[in-house]
Amino acid sequence: MLGFLLAISLSFAFAFLYAAIIFWMDRYEQEPKRLLVGVFLWGALIAAFGALISQLVLSAGTLALTRSDAATELLSVSLYAPITEESLKGIAVLLVFLVFRSEFDSVVDGIVYAGITALGFAATENTLYLFSEFLDGGLAGLLHLFFLRVILTGWNHPMYTAFIGIGFAVARLNPSWLVKLSAPAVGWLIAVTIHALHNGLLTILGGAAACIVFPLDWLGWLFIFGMLLWAVQHERNWLVKQLKDEIALGVITPEQYRVATSSVARTGAWMRALGAGHFRATRQFYKLCTRLAFKKEQSTKFGDETGNAATIARVRAELTRRSPQI
């Protein structure tokens, strides 16, 4: 019991920490917490156990056909695991993309939903691995594996699945139906490929592969975090461009425009509002500013789409009403 509690505590505590970092990096339009909890649970329950069951079935079939433990292990780790895991994690992103389309606006959103889904998956997977290691090697074995899986390679699953999120984001932001259909498939293929390379190299070369695989993993992390920073800056550019004419329309003031287009200024405004007792109203006001800018950007690119014009009019009216109070 102690080993299981320690395994689940360490695995989920760090998954929550990493998820909080991703959530914090979404500076201008943080996703609804209910959706983030939903995709995390999808990863932790449906994706994790669905992948486990799928891999057991596929591995049993492979062993029956080949009669080779080595071939079964290689195929299971380097092919079946990447395909089943990335597919099941990717379904969560697909569902958000289809069902909650209004909450899927940018590359940032794709990375956030994919990353948090993957962290839910990793939390459950790490729990199972750490507990198994505790049964075999005791506390020392558990802590050693914890360092390898949670600290040293803890961002791997979010990095893999982020490519699927980027693929769906590209589809969301491009009017071409060819791109809309192909981008998610390309993102899935990249996720599966780099996942398979990681697993395959470690399986074939063993510990000798660590000096190659881990630096490549870390380069992958840096690439995804670089993409996230670029995407956040891209969102800021939308705010700068789309909110500028709202000053002339009397919807927002120049000072409100300055705050709305700067994450640092927003944080300062929220802190002052917290001290003055109107944090919630201030935060909601700047969330509406972001929504207006994003909907105007979508309207520019895609036309009315799913009621962009009505949403713009409604949000603009609400901002006009609230502006004198902020």
Contacts with 321 (C-beta within 8 Å, 6 or more apart), sequence order: none
If asked whether residues 134 and 272 sit together in one domain, one would say no
Q: Are residues 210 and 297 in the same domain?
A: no
Per-residue pLDDT in tens (0 to 9) along the chain, 326 residues: 788 999 999 999 999 999 999 999 998 988 999 999 999 999 999 999 999 999 999 999 999 999 999 899 999 999 999 999 999 999 999 999 999 988 898 999 999 999 999 999 999 999 999 999 999 989 999 999 999 999 999 999 999 999 999 999 999 988 889 999 999 999 999 999 999 999 999 888 877 777 888 898 999 999 999 999 999 999 999 999 999 999 999 999 999 999 999 999 999 998 888 888 888 999 999 999 999 999 999 888 888 777 889 999 999 999 999 999 98
Q: What would the two tokens of residue 304 be?
A: 């009315």
Residue 253 lies in a domain: yes
255 and 221, same structural domain?
A: no
Asked if residue 241 is part of any domain, the answer here is: no
Q: Report the alpha-carbon distance of residue 309 to residue 326 in Å, rounded.
A: 25
Does a structural domain hold residue 273? yes
- Judgement on whether residues 186 and 308 belong to the same structural domain of the protein: no
Cα–Cα dist 109/234, whole Å: 12
The token duo for 311 is: 């949403």
- For the record, the structure tokens of 204 come out as 């074939």
Q: Judge if 257 and 228 occupy the same domain.
A: no
Asked if residue 313 and residue 200 are part of one domain, the reply reads: no
Per the structure, the count of domains in the chain is 2
218 and 262 part of one domain: no
Mark which of 234, 265, 284 sits at the end of a domain. 234
State whether 172 and 41 are in the same domain.
Answer: yes
Same domain, residue pair 295 and 272: yes
Q: Is residue 243 part of a domain?
A: no
- Is residue 240 a part of any domain in this protein? no
Domain annotation covers residue 242? no
Could you tell me which of 205, 53, 180, 173 has the C-alpha nearest to residue 109? 173
Please report whether residue 36 resides in a domain. Answer: yes
Domain membership of residue 182 (yes or no) is yes
Under 8 Å CB-to-CB from 165, ≥6 apart: which residues?
A: 93, 109, 110, 111, 112, 113, 114, 115, 187
Does one domain contain both 49 and 126?
yes
Do 68 and 35 share a domain, yes or no? Answer: yes
- The reply to whether 230 and 259 lie within a common domain is no
Among 185, 210, 234, identify where a domain stops: 234
What integer pLDDT is reported at residue 1 of this predicted model? Answer: 79
Domain that holds residue 288: 249-325
